[in-house]
Amino acid sequence: MLRWSCGIMAITKLSSREFNQDTGKAKRAAKKGPVFITDRGRPSHVLLTAEEYERITGTQQSVAELLAMPEAAAIEFEPPRLRGDLHKPVDLD
């Protein structure tokens, strides 16, 4: 495990083997900052807490949640009509 600090946040680097052997250690490290998981020395994944992920991405709502909003009824939306051949016959011989 390699750990370095970037400002306030600690950054941790774990090999896939270290991650598999002790996921608890990775989860504890993620509370202090991102955990880079490597495969053959190259970064392959990043582990973040759910709170950090939401902070970075912003609170995103699903399409279903957006459509359920009362204000959605006031939005005008007219999708374009598809034209032309939408399907082609398939020769299965």
Ranges in the chain, pLDDT < 70: 1-8, 60-61, 72
Identify the pLDDT of residue 39: 94
**Greatest pairwise CA separation for the chain in angstroms:** 65
User: What is this structure's pTM?
Assistant: 0.56
DSSP letter at 8?
A: T
SS (H, E, C) 27-87: HHHHCCCCEEEEECCEEEEEECCHHHHHHHHCCCCCHHHHHCCHHHHHCCCCCCCCCCCCC
CB 39 within 8 A of CB 33: no
CA distance readout (Å), 52 to 8, 32, 58: 14, 10, 10
Identify the pLDDT of residue 16: 95
Instruction: Enumerate domains of the chain plus CATH numbers.
Output: 2-70 (3.40.1620.10)
DSSP, collapsed to helix, strand or coil, labels residue 3 as strand
